[in-house]
Amino acid sequence: MESKKILIIGGYGRAGKNIALLLAKNSDHCIIIAGRDLNKANDCVKEINKSIQTTRLESRVVDLTNTESISLALEGMDLVVVASPLNFITSQNIIGAVLLSSCSLYLDISPGTEKHQAFEEKQSEIEESNTTFIVDAGCEPGMPAVLIKYLKTISPQIDSVYIQMIYRDNQMPESSVKDLLGHNEKPQILKDGVWSKVKGFKTKKISFPLGFGRHITVPVWIPELANIHNDAEIKNLEYYHAGINRVSNLVSLMWKVLLRFILPISTGVKLFQWSIRKFTKPPIGGLLIVGGKDENTTIEVHGFHKDIYVATAIPAAAACLQMLSNDSLKSGKYFMYEPLKIQEFIALCIEMGLEVDVVSK
The domain that holds 149 is classified in CATH as 3.30.360.10
Q: Is the confidence at residue 90, as pLDDT, over 80?
A: yes
Residues 169 and 296 in one domain: yes
Give residue 158's identity as a one-letter amino acid code: I
Q: Is the confidence at residue 141, as pLDDT, over 90?
A: yes
Evaluate whether residue 118 is within a structural domain: yes
Q: Higher pLDDT residue, 258 or 302?
A: 302
Residues 198 and 300 in one domain: yes
Residues 253 and 104 in one domain: no
Evaluate whether residue 354 is within a structural domain: no
Q: Which of 25-39, 52-66, 98-112, 247-261 has the lowest mean pLDDT?
A: 247-261
Residues 180 and 130 in one domain: no
- Three-state helix/strand/coil letters over the chain: CCCCEEEEECCCCHHHHHHHHHHHHHCCCEEEEEECCHHHHHHHHHHHHHHCCCCCEEEEECCCCCHHHHHHHHCCCCEEEECCCCCHHHHHHHHHHHHHCCCCEEEECCCCHHHHHHHHHCHHHHHCCCCEEEECCCCCCCHHHHHHHHHHHHCCCCCEEEEEEEEECCCCCHHHHHHHHCCCCCCEEEECCEEEECCCCCCEEEEECCCCEEEEEEECCCHHHCCHHHHCCCCEEEEEEECCCHHHHHHHHHHHHCHHHCCCHHHHHHHHHHHHHHHCCCCCEEEEEEEEEECCEEEEEEEEECCHHHHHHHHHHHHHHHHHHCCCCCCEEEECCCCCCHHHHHHHHHHHCCEEEEEEC
Residues 245 and 299 in one domain: yes
Residues 81 and 193 in one domain: no
Domain of residue 49 covers 5-135
Q: Is the confidence at residue 107, as pLDDT, over 90?
A: yes
Evaluate whether residue 360 is within a structural domain: no
Q: Is the confidence at residue 122, as pLDDT, over 80?
A: yes
Q: Is the confidence at residue 1, as pLDDT, over 90?
A: no
Evaluate whether residue 316 is within a structural domain: no
Residues 154 and 294 in one domain: yes
Q: Is the confidence at residue 30, as pLDDT, over 80?
A: yes
pLDDT of 302? 98
pLDDT of 235? 96
CA 49 from centroid of its chain's CA atoms: 25
**For 188-216, what is the mean pLDDT?**
92
Q: Alpha carbon of 302 to those of 114, 161, 310, 324: distances in Å?
A: 31, 13, 16, 27
pLDDT band at residue 257, thresholds of 50, 70 and 90? confident
Q: Which of these three, 264, 285, 308, is where a domain ends?
A: 308
pLDDT of 142? 96
User: Under a CB-based contact definition with an 8 Å cutoff, are residues 189 and 224 in contact?
Assistant: no
- Mean pLDDT value across the chain: 93
Residues 116 and 209 in one domain: no
Evaluate whether residue 328 is within a structural domain: no
Residues 226 and 280 in one domain: yes
Q: Which of these three, 135, 165, 190, is where a domain ends?
A: 135
Residues 68 and 92 in one domain: yes
The pLDDT > 90 percentage for the chain reads 78
- Per-residue pLDDT of 294-315, as tens digits, reads 888 999 999 999 999 999 999 9
The domain that holds 12 is classified in CATH as 3.40.50.720
pLDDT of 9? 97
Q: Which of these three, 308, 333, 349, is where a domain ends?
A: 308
**For 174-184, what is the mean pLDDT?**
75
**For 29-52, what is the mean pLDDT?**
96
Residues 92 and 156 in one domain: no
Q: Higher pLDDT residue, 45 or 171?
A: 45
pLDDT of 294? 82
**For 182-195, what is the mean pLDDT?**
86
Evaluate whether residue 344 is within a structural domain: no
Evaluate whether residue 293 is within a structural domain: yes
Query: In terms of Cα–Cα distance, which of 208, 190, 211, 187 is closest to 198?
Result: 187
Q: Is the confidence at residue 183, as pLDDT, over 70?
A: no
Q: Higher pLDDT residue, 328 or 93?
A: 93
Residues 121 and 163 in one domain: no
**For 25-36, what is the mean pLDDT?**
96
pLDDT of 252? 84
pLDDT of 184? 66
Beta-carbon count within 10 A of 283 CB: 14
**For 260-271, what is the mean pLDDT?**
88
- Number of domains observed in the structure of the chain: 2
pLDDT of 176? 79
Evaluate whether residue 329 is within a structural domain: no
